[in-house]
C-alpha cells in the first residue's frame, strides 16, 4: 500500500510540473494564434482564457482562435463567450481548417468574436439542443432551452444585421447550417480566408470595437506566434472525453479488485488507483447522470461477486449489461452538444467481462487449490509408518523419511498407512489412514 501511495504522489507531482505554463514572452504588438479542436470542455475554456490573458499582457494586436468543434456544454460555452466579449484585445474566431466546422456551441463562439472568419469548405450552424446520444429531447425542456439560446444568439448576432439574426435563430429552432459563402452573404461572418496569411491580409485596416472604443487592426508585418496547448492540457483534453472517463472509471476499481484477488505484483493496484483518481477528476468536470454512475457501481459489484460465486459466469454477463447501460446513461445530459460514441463503451464492457470471466476467475480458483510447493503440500498426503509410532516414530511420505508424531497419541504399527494432517518444521503429525489417499 505504501508503494501505491508513493507512486500516486509522484504521478501527481509530475502532472503539476507538466501543467506549469511556459514562461516565454509574448512579442509586443504581435498576433497570437490558438488552435482549438474538439468538443467544448473545461480544458478548452482554460486554454482560451489563458490565450486571452497572454494576448492582453503582451499587448497583442489580435488573438486568432482557429476553431473546429462539434459543440459542447452550454455553461462552458457561455464562459468562453464572456471571456471573448470582455477581452481587452481584438479576438478573431477563424473556422479552420477546410472541412472543419463550428457546429452547435461553436456557432455561439464564432458570433461572439470581434471578427468572424471561415475557411472555404467549412460550415457553421446546427445549434439545436440535443442529448448526449445525439437525439431529440422532450418538448417542454426543448422549448425552455431554445428560448434561452435564441435570446443569447440574438444578442450576439444583432450587430450583424437582420438576416444574420434570422439565420442564427433558425440555426437553433430548425438546426439550419450554412457553408462559408452563405454565411458571408447573410452577414453571419465577416471574412472568408484560405489560410492564416490570407486572413491577416484581410484583417489589416479593419476597425473593431473594444471596450466601447474603436480600434484599427494592423496585422501585416507583425510577429506571429502560435500558442499550443501544454502537454497537460492535451492529456486532460483526452481524459475529459466521456468515453475515456467511462473507461477509466470502469478499469480503475476492477484493476484494484484484481490486485486484491491476486496480490503480490502491485501493478494492478497501482494502475487501478491512478485510473480511478483520473476518472473521478473527469467526472467532476463533466455533467454526469448519476443513474449511470449507479449502474457502473452495480456492474463492479456483480463482477466481484461472480468471481467468488459457485456459478461463475452468470453474474459477469449481467455485469456487462449493467456496464453498457451505465456508460450510455452516465453522460446523457441534455446540454451536451456532441454525440457519445457507443463502440468504446460496448468494447470496454465486453473486454472487462471476458477478463473477469477467465483471468480473475482463474486467479481466485488458483488461490483455492492446495499448495503444490513447500511443506504445506504434505498436508493430506498418504504415507507409510517405517517404524512403530508410539507416539513418535518415522514415516515415509513423498519419497522422504519424516519424524512423525501420532495425532491422538495412540500407537501406529510399522507398515500401517497414515495421513499427514499437520507439519511443524521437520516433524509431521499423522493419523491412521485406512481408505485410499493421495500419494
pLDDT tens figures, 358-393: 766 665 555 555 555 556 667 888 889 999 988 889
Please state the rounded mean pLDDT for residues 27-52.
89
Q: Are strands 101-103 and 31-37 parallel, antiparallel or unpaired?
A: unpaired
Give the model's pLDDT for residue 253. Answer: 84
CATH code of domain 375-432:
2.40.50.140
Does residue 331 carry a pLDDT above 90? no
Please state the rounded mean pLDDT for residues 394-421.
86
Please state the rounded mean pLDDT for residues 75-79.
91
SS3 35: strand
- Dihedrals phi, psi of 71, to nearest 5 degrees: 120, -165
Please state the rounded mean pLDDT for residues 135-140.
55
Q: Which amino acids are annotated catalytic?
A: 104, 144
Q: Count the Cβ atoms, other than its own, within 10 Å of residue 145.
A: 18
Alpha carbons within 13 angstroms on the beta-carbon side of residue 242 total 29
Does residue 99 carry a pLDDT above 90? yes
Give the model's pLDDT for residue 438. Answer: 41
How far, CA to CA in Å, does 62 sit from each of 7, 51, 231, 297, 361? 43, 11, 25, 49, 61
SS3 382: strand
When mean pLDDT is compared over 94-108, 390-404, 409-423, the highest value belongs to 94-108
**Closest to 107 measured CA to CA, from 206, 176, 159:** 176
Cα–Cα–Cα angle for 84, 18, 288, rounded to 5 degrees: 60
CA-only gyration radius of the chain, Å: 34
More confident residue, 375 or 280: 280
Does residue 350 carry a pLDDT above 50? yes
Specify whether the CB–CB gap between 127 and 107 falls below 8 A: yes
CA dist 112 and 105 (Å) reads: 11
More confident residue, 279 or 369: 279
**Closest to 137 measured CA to CA, from 308, 334, 300:** 334
Please state the rounded mean pLDDT for residues 258-266.
67
| Residues whose CB falls within 8 Å of the CB of residue 436, separated by 6 or more in sequence, listed in order | 382
CA dist 179 and 364 (Å) reads: 59
Give the model's pLDDT for residue 12. Answer: 59
Give the model's pLDDT for residue 288. Answer: 77
Per residue in 421-433, is it b (16+ CB within 10 Å) or e — as a string? Answer: eebeeeebbbebb
| Residues whose CB falls within 8 Å of the CB of residue 371, separated by 6 or more in sequence, listed in order | 377
**Closest to 337 measured CA to CA, from 133, 183, 146, 83:** 133
CA dist 265 and 256 (Å) reads: 12
Span 313-328, pLDDT tens digits: 778 888 888 988 888 8
Tell me the angle at which helices 231-239 and 267-285 cross, rounded to the nearest 10 degrees. 80
Give the model's pLDDT for residue 10. Answer: 54
Q: Integer distance in angstroms from the first to the last C-alpha of the chain?
A: 40
Does residue 336 carry a pLDDT above 50? no
Joined grid coordinates for residue 206: 479593419
Does residue 1 carry a pLDDT above 90? no
SS3 134: coil
Give the model's confidence band at 26: pLDDT under 50 very low, under 70 low, under 90 confident, else very high.
Answer: very low
Give the model's pLDDT for residue 363. Answer: 57
Residue 427: its H or E element: strand 427-432
Whether a cis peptide bond, with omega within 30° of 0, leads into 391 is yes
Query: Dihedral sign, CA of 379, 380, 382, 388?
Result: positive
- Counting residues of the chain whose pLDDT is more than 90, the rounded percentage is 36
Q: Which position has the grid cell 458571408? A: 184
CA dist 396 and 394 (Å) reads: 7
CA 373 to chain centre: 43
SS3 67: strand
Residue 48: its H or E element: helix 42-57
More confident residue, 318 or 355: 318
Please state the rounded mean pLDDT for residues 298-307.
81
- Dihedrals phi, psi of 407, to nearest 5 degrees: -65, -40
CA dist 205 and 29 (Å) reads: 15
Does residue 6 carry a pLDDT above 90? no
Give the model's pLDDT for residue 5. Answer: 54
Please state the rounded mean pLDDT for residues 83-101.
96
Give the model's confidence band at 246: pLDDT under 50 very low, under 70 low, under 90 confident, else very high.
Answer: confident
CA dist 59 and 28 (Å) reads: 6
Give the model's confidence band at 436: pLDDT under 50 very low, under 70 low, under 90 confident, else very high.
Answer: very low
Give the model's pLDDT for residue 308. Answer: 67
CATH code of domain 25-230:
3.90.226.10
Amino acid at each position: 500500500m505504501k508503494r501505491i501511495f508513493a507512486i500516486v504522489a509522484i504521478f501527481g507531482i509530475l502532472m503539476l510540473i507538466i501543467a506549469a505554463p511556459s514562461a516565454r514572452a509574448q512579442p509586443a504588438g504581435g498576433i497570437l494564434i490558438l488552435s482549438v479542436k474538439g468538443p467544448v470542455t473545461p480544458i478548452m475554456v482554460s486554454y482560451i482564457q489563458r490565450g486571452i490573458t497572454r494576448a492582453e499582457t503582451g499587448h497583442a494586436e489580435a488573438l486568432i482562435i482557429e476553431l473546429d468543434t462539434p459543440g459542447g456544454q452550454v455553461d462552458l460555452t457561455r464562459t468562453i463567450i464572456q471571456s471573448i466579449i470582455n477581452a481587452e484585445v481584438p479576438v478573431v474566431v477563424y473556422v479552420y481548417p477546410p472541412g472543419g466546422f463550428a457546429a452547435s456551441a461553436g456557432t455561439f463562439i464564432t458570433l461572439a468574436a470581434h471578427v468572424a472568419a471561415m475557411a472555404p469548405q467549412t460550415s457553421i450552424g446546427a445549434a439545436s439542443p440535443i442529448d448526449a446520444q445525439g437525439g431529440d429531447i422532450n418538448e417542454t425542456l426543448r422549448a425552455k432551452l431554445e428560448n434561452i439560446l435564441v435570446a443569447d444568439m440574438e444578442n450576439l448576432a444583432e450587430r450583424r444585421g437582420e438576416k444574420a439574426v434570422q439565420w442564427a435563430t433558425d440555426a437553433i429552432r430548425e438546426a439550419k447550417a450554412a457553408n462559408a459563402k452563405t454565411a458571408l452573404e447573410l452577414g453571419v461572418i465577416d471574412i472568408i480566408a484560405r489560410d492564416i496569411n490570407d486572413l491577416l491580409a484581410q484583417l489589416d485596416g479593419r476597425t473593431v470595437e473594444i471596450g466601447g472604443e474603436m480600434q484599427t487592426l494592423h496585422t501585416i508585418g507583425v510577429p506571429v506566434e502560435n500558442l499550443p496547448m501544454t502537454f497537460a492540457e492535451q492529456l486532460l483534453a483526452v481524459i475529459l472525453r466521456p468515453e475515456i472517463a467511462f473507461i477509466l472509471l470502469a478499469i480503475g476499481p476492477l484493476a484494484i479488485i484484481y490486485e486484491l484477488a491476486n496480490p503480490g505484483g502491485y501493478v494492478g493496484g497501482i494502475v487501478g488507483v491512478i485510473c480511478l483518481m483520473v476518472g473521478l477528476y473527469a467526472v467532476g468536470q463533466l455533467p454526469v447522470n448519476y443513474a449511470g454512475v449507479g449502474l457502473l457501481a452495480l456492474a463492479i459489484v456483480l463482477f466481484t461477486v461472480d468471481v467468488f460465486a459457485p456459478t461463475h459466469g452468470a453474474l459477469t454477463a449481467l455485469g456487462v449489461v449493467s456496464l453498457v447501460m451505465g456508460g450510455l446513461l452516465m453522460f446523457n445530459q441534455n446540454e451536451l452538444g456532441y454525440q457519445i460514441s457507443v463502440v468504446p463503451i460496448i468494447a470496454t464492457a465486453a473486454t472487462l467481462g471476458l477478463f473477469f470471466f477467465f483471468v480473475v476467475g482463474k486467479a481466485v480458483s488458483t488461490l483455492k487449490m492446495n499448495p503444490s510447493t513447500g511443506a504445506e503440500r504434505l498436508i493430506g498426503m498418504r504415507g507409510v509408518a517405517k517404524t512403530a509410532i508410539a507416539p513418535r516414530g518415522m514415516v515415509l511420505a513423498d519419497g522422504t523419511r519424516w519424524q512423525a508424531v501420532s495425532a491422538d497419541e495412540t500407537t501406529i504399527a510399522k507398515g500401517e498407512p497414515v495421513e499427514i494432517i499437520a507439519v511443524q518444521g521437520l516433524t509431521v503429525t499423522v493419523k491412521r489412514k485406512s481408505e485410499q489417499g493421495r500419494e
